[in-house]
Structures are given as C-alpha cells and as structure tokens.
Amino acid sequence: MVTRTTHLTRKVLRDDVHDALLEMLMTQQLAPGQSLSIDSLARQLGVSPTPVREALVELEHTGLVTRAALKGYTVTSPLSARQMAELIDARQVIELAAVERAVRAAGIVETLKGVHADHEAVIRRYGLDGPAGVREASQDQILEYFRADWAFHEAIIRSCGNRFIQQMASILGANVHRMRQTMDVGLTDAMDALHEHAEIVAAFESGDPATAVEAMRRHLDLVSGRAQAEAATPE
C-alpha cells in the first residue's frame, strides 16, 4: 500500500511539473532556442530534478523541446514554412477522419455550439477582434485564446469514437501552438477562425459527413494560407 501511494504521489507531481513547463513554453517564458537546465528548472519549480527530467521526456514527444547527446534539452525553434505545411497536412489526415466519424455522435452539435460560444467570449473579452487588441493582449490572454480555439477541434476529436485517432491528435495541439508562435501577426485571424468554425457547426447540423468534412477542409486550407503568409522564419 505504501508503494502504491508513493507511486501515485510521484505521478501527480510529474503531471504537475509537466503542466507547469508546458505553460512556460506556451507563454514563451521558455523562449525558442533556449537551453534548458534540469537543475535550474527544478529549483524554479521547487521540486527535485527527477520529475522535471520525466516531464521533459514527455514534452520531447510533442516536439516542443528537443534533446541532443551531451547537450541536454533545448526549446524547439519556430516552425519553418515546410514544417507548417506538413503540420497542416497531418491535421487534415487526422481531423478530417475525426469529423467524418463524429458527425452523427450524440449531442455533437450542442457541444460544438458551446465551445464555439466560449471561443467567441474569449475573443470579445480580450478585444482580440482587431490588431490593436492583439498588441495589447498579455501572453496569458493569448494562451487562453489558443486553448479556446483548439477546444473546438478537440470536441470533434473526442466525439469521433476512435481512441487511436484521439491519441494521434493529442500530439497536434502543442504543435498547433508552435505554428501560432511562428506567425508574425499571431491573432489577427481570430475572427476569421471564429467564422470558419461557425460554418463547421452549420455543416454538422446538416448531418451530412461529406458536408462537414468539406467545411473542416476549407478551414484548415485557410489556416494554412494565413500561416504560410505570416511565417516568421524561412525553411
């Protein structure tokens, strides 16, 4: 029993450290290209090096950090234009499959309307419906926007009824944020994304898988075009 309790405590600590490091990466407290010291991060978070090391191993799988022999961990550089194109391609493969399977899931339209309303509320709350609002937004507010935007996609993925599609999609979330970090303007497409999500909701209301898939494909194509146009780094 003691062993079991100790194991659970360690897992909870590792998860907490993972979440803390993820937020530091998302808000660029840990900047692209920055070398990461396990001991320094452990002191900053008030934990031993072990959960930090374990959390970094998990984060390496998302692509947010990389590890080189004898050099340790580094925050991954922004996506290149080619990497963004590959990410959108991967999203289309996974998300379009999820859409096709989720269209007739019980309660999916109501769920999408709910997360869509949450997405719009974040945009209105922080004034992210125009360039001036974006410039004045804090990193925490921008992170909240990213999460609200991705929550729409996650709602579809969670409703697809295929656990392996869900597992593959879980890696995409962090890399979608990397794509956002690569874009110079960042959130000036917030209203575009909101309108495109509304079209996806309407397509789901039709109950036709082909219509819903086409709406999501159009959204991802437009996201790709905006990202490519605003890419901050060359390939």
- How confident is the model over 100-141, as pLDDT tens digits? 999 999 999 999 999 999 999 999 998 888 665 555 677 778
pLDDT in tens, 191-230: 999 999 999 999 999 999 999 999 999 999 998 888 777 6
Alpha helices in 103-231 (DSSP H): 108-125, 131-136, 139-158, 163-182, 190-206, 209-229
Q: Which residue, 155, 146, 147, is CA-closest to 212?
A: 155
What confidence score (pLDDT) does residue 231 get?
A: 58
DSSP-based three-state secondary structure for 76: coil
Q: Are 79 and 182 in contact (CB under 8 A)?
A: yes
- pLDDT at 163 > cutoff 90: yes
Long-range contacts of range 63-67, CB-CB < 8 Å, 24 or more positions apart? Answer: 63/171, 63/174, 63/175, 63/178, 64/22, 64/25, 64/174, 64/175, 64/178, 65/25, 65/36
Q: Is the pTM of this model over 0.85?
A: no
Q: Give the span between the Cα atoms of 156 and 153, in whole angstroms.
A: 5
Arithmetic mean of pLDDT, 78-84: 82
- pLDDT at 5 > cutoff 60: no
- pLDDT at 3 > cutoff 70: no
Label residue 38 by pLDDT band (50, 70, 90): very high
